[in-house]
């Protein structure tokens, strides 16, 4: 039988060959795993894309071990940038701020097969001093429970909010660090304002949202923050345990320290 060269690119049945080839090029690297998004504080509800993560590299571990209060956000973002595979069009800036801390703890756990981190703690209830083994499942996490309403009714206005991403946070930081910002910006209020996307159905900029929030009367502002807090979720760097002696629920701070990110194995 005569063999013929088949030009697959012109065959309509193989119309997607190009796409398939592009798909092969875009395979996640060997050292990346598919993240089970349901484990996140957000339960992955805001990420239609697959998320692939890589183990912490030596350089990232070094960076994490030198984290301070001043550089923590910069370091954490940098770690997420290099540990989340972006070949499928999903990059770290789409991560919700509320999921960041959990991801850092997850990466540590994944990198070291969840090796326990020993913490010493004195129970405030019974005074017992004991050592506890912190692993990922002990991390203090509150989860996404219910969808946000289309808007909150505040002071006669309809205010729509969304959960800020790293991208949103970057815009916030830019304003905070801008020496030309004429307004005397309150950092906490600006963070809160970054949740607001629409006022009375109209999309608003961060600064417009900030101006709106700063001019609210105290009662309306308190009502607003209380309403919103019902929809919040986050991981905090604390380990949840039960006192070995009295069974009291205890929360132990887990430090971002060299010994945490460079455990003795
Ligand atoms: Zn106790």
Cα–ligand 1 centroid distance for 105 (angstroms): 26
Residue 182: its pLDDT value, please?
A: 67
* Strand pairing class (196-199; 157-161): antiparallel
Q: How confident is the model over 169-195, as a mean pLDDT?
A: 89
Average per-residue pLDDT in the chain?
90
Q: What angle do CA 221, 227, 229 make, to 5 degrees?
A: 100
Cα–ligand 1 centroid distance for 130 (angstroms): 9
Indicate the pTM of the whole model.
0.86
What protein residues have CB closer than 5 angstroms to ion ligand 1? 123, 125-126, 128, 243, 245-246, 248
d(CA 200, CA 253): 41
Cα–ligand 1 centroid distance for 7 (angstroms): 74
- Residue 248 predicted with pLDDT over 90: yes
Strands (DSSP E) along the chain, which ranges?
32-34, 52-54, 117-122, 129-134, 139-142, 152-154, 157-161, 196-199, 202-203, 234-242, 249-253
How far CA 71 is from CA of 76, 91, 154, 220, in Å, comes to 9, 21, 36, 34
Cα–ligand 1 centroid distance for 235 (angstroms): 24
Q: Which two tokens stand for residue 265?
A: 């194995």
- Residue 164 predicted with pLDDT over 50: yes
Residue 247, C-beta contacts closer than 8 angstroms, at least 6 positions apart: none
Reported confidence tier of residue 8, pLDDT bands at 50, 70, 90: very low
Cα–ligand 1 centroid distance for 247 (angstroms): 6
d(CA 52, CA 161): 28
Cα–ligand 1 centroid distance for 95 (angstroms): 37
Cα–ligand 1 centroid distance for 145 (angstroms): 31
Burial class (CB in 10 A: 0-12, 13-18, 19+), 127: exposed
Cα–ligand 1 centroid distance for 135 (angstroms): 20
Cα–ligand 1 centroid distance for 249 (angstroms): 8
Residue with tokens 């990232």: 60
Residue 225's nearest CA partner among 117, 123, 152 is 152
The 10s digit of each residue's pLDDT in 27-58 is 888 889 999 999 999 999 999 999 999 999 99
d(CA 2, CA 41): 61
Cα–ligand 1 centroid distance for 242 (angstroms): 8
Residue 17: its pLDDT value, please?
A: 67
The 10s digit of each residue's pLDDT in 93-150 is 999 999 999 999 999 999 999 999 999 999 999 999 999 999 999 999 999 999 999 9
């Amino acid at each position: 039988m005569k063999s013929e060269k088949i030009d697959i690119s012109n065959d309509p049945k193989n119309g997607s060959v190009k796409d398939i080839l592009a798909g092969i090029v875009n395979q996640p690297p060997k050292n990346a795993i598919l993240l089970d998004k349901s484990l996140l504080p957000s339960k992955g509800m805001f990420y239609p894309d697959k998320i692939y993560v890589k183990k912490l590299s030596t350089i990232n571990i070094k960076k994490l071990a030198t984290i301070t209060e001043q550089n923590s956000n910069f370091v954490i973002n940098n770690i997420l940038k290099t540990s989340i595979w972006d070949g499928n069009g999903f990059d770290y800036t789409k991560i919700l701020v509320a999921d960041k801390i959990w991801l850092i703890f997850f990466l540590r756990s994944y990198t070291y097969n969840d090796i326990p981190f020993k913490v010493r703690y004195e129970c405030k209830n019974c005074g017992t001093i004991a050592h506890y083994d912190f692993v990922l499942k002990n991390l203090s996490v509150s989860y996404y429970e219910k969808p946000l309403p289309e808007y909150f009714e505040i002071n006669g206005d309809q205010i729509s909010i969304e959960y800020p991403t790293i991208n949103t946070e970057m815009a916030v930081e830019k304003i905070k660090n801008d020496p030309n910002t004429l307004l005397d910006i309150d950092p906490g209020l600006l963070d809160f304002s970054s949740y607001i996307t629409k006022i009375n159905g109209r999309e608003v900029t961060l600064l417009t949202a900030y101006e709106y929030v700063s001019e609210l009367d105290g009662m309306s502002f308190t009502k607003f923050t209380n309403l919103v807090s019902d929809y919040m979720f986050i991981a905090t760097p604390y380990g949840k345990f039960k006192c070995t002696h009295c069974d009291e629920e205890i929360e132990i701070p887990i430090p971002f320290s060299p010994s945490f990110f460079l455990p003795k194995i």
